[in-house]
Chain A
């Protein structure tokens, strides 16, 4: 397939990129290109210009501290999946990165691109919301921090303002916190490899009881959603099979307008969300027990 023509810019710095975005109103940011280029090839998207941020130094890389892991927006899925620092400090993120697309996609696709594109079937948004990550947007006026919960606004829509660039993502290094664990489960679309439903569960145990729980469902709705009723139901409980199953029964309440397609209806996605939540919570609880 052949995309329409466009102007192409390759800034060396964030400042240059921001200036190019200011000057070219119809421009799109190109990172790994694994969401944008297929859409352009099908001529579903025909931006007048691309600002290729792939060569900007300092946008790629992983820095882990005791409390948080900071990941540059241009870091590839493959790098995240293979990072010892991530595996130790935030294992669910590495586990998720390893399930995205396929080898070739992981070698090119970036975490920033995935989050900024906000595809409902993507994996990272679900996990970042579950982790309570913080995203840094850089604009003409400097940096601005956005909570993951507030970042995803609608289908393919984020809190990024025109002219802003997502530059890094910070997530809690829960791997360093005793009693804390997570799990990400994905029902993979047999053709696209995207998540039909993805469930991220984080469980924190104190004295054998669930002190903190974060349960987020992606793929079923325009953006990932916290299964708040389920979280509430499990908090303070022992993570037994029965308690977890009872809590998971509340997941459907969070999914008010499920999406459907040829492969899976909204009703089935809601059902999958329930089953997978139960399984992800079980797995996370088991891991949390150590």
Chain B
């Protein structure tokens, strides 16, 4: 029944969409997609008649489509859109919230009947369905998309839908009613709980908490509290006069002031049509310009619409969001002048709190209400009756000043600017901790976003080590583990930081289905190094030798026990028989029982093909789903390289030029011609004249050759060969680079004034020795960085043959 199954997990970046030819209904207009997703919000699935682009944006899509958004409006609603129009916008269903752990969903479409359910089993646990009155029976391709946050997908499968399933759902319907049995809890929580997600400036509307000024409204002088810093950042209120704490408003009625304050504190308000004019007058008196404009617009519209005047009809006024990406966030979604607010921070005007960083003797001036609107913890600190509640100075310990400064700037400007900071990485982590500690959720998200952008194979271990203690960073943790397991060789070789990971994290990586490694020996090395907390990189042979004058207890200390848990993740049976024999006779095998057992088991499996009886998982004897083909350099011009291998259709055919077969694309800086022929480079036939001519790139002369191994292939390149053509324009200075996307490049080997080439038609080969040889790349590029030995053609990159070696998949 399964039509297509994609087991790899994938993360869709904000405003992107993943399409694949596999994610397609067998029958147009009828099909079901099931998947696991994790995200902060907006798990967005698109159904179209044909595939869209990576940067697909559903708001700009003109062709017919359906879109289902789970966790829309900051995790509050379920939405379905048809051709860009919202047709379903539901609050009360299980599909309103996304989760930061993988949750299973399924969505099926059957001639315009859209059904959505939760759980692993398609067509079960139906939660919501909707029938399109004008069914689009042509949608066929499924796009996995996101909104402003990353969305992780995995186990995506497409199923056909038969009519039987539709009948099944009819029965499901009647059981739906008895869903809500949580009445008891609601009864308790009413009025006492505070929702961390919904917390914001709105909580302080007309609240006496932290207020420092009062409006006296109407003849009866009703008092309405407010906060000077908020008022002054939104307009111009008479706070500087001698009686700055009281603002008299005799001629104004309470509903008008309430509307003004609600607009300032929440970004929106509702008011009777008849009260628009007084509200406009009041807001223009206090120079709350966005509200003045909106009142005037509404008044004009009413005049134009010629509708009968209805004194009871209400108008909604909401602040235009200046920055669509930030969502409903302070201060951008409020009628606040950010410039003014930032100025109030820098001058300390109306400041009612000093924050003293005890470890650094640094003082910050701030406003309680600003700190509180971002953080429930600060709000409670200022109000819950402990010593800080009646003090104008608070002392904070364990806070990095740089990170605190960045947090304060964020609280006033809504923006995170710290990329220019010295020690950017470390400070970003400090800031992440700070945001987590005080529960500043939007800042936390910004930090995570930035951290994900910066995440590289080099930082993955330290980031993982740090974030594993923060429970709200699951997404980053997953990303790190994934990155680690996919670059296992590099991450365990380039540095030994990985031994600092805790056992759970390291064990998760070893168990990961994505684990990609050149040899099981590497996993063995890594497990041994981790268990002995190695301070430098060792192979198992070195560790085995250490055992000569030591014993396991001394060598592995408190992690000796962990060997029992971790060694079974090494798939010994994938090692060669000779190596197993060596392991069998090693000190490790003699002194560590579990090691001995696993090696013997693997050896007997290899000889007899039998697995020892028992209920143990047999995954130990299986090949890894993503394994590399070893293509090692033997000699110049041999037949062991990648280009040759691809030419034989990955070992299954006679050799055909892979460029002709379009399995590999070779390009160069100059257009293809008689003398610049990509085919020639992949063939072993000697060509007398073959070069890439120079072109201008960003104002520089540039000559290069580039190899693209194709979308689904990568190479961890550890050797490369090229051959000089018949000319004497020997290359002297060049770079060999790799890339995953063809845009950002990593140097694999840099040659400066290299004198190797000295004959026409000569072969030459170089190893890649740095840890970068363990990073997989799709694109490889040779770039000339200095003139050749022939001054008449200084920028001709003369190569007539090219070959790459390493671990290929």
Q: Do A and B bind each other?
A: no
- A-to-B contact residues, CB < 8 Å: none
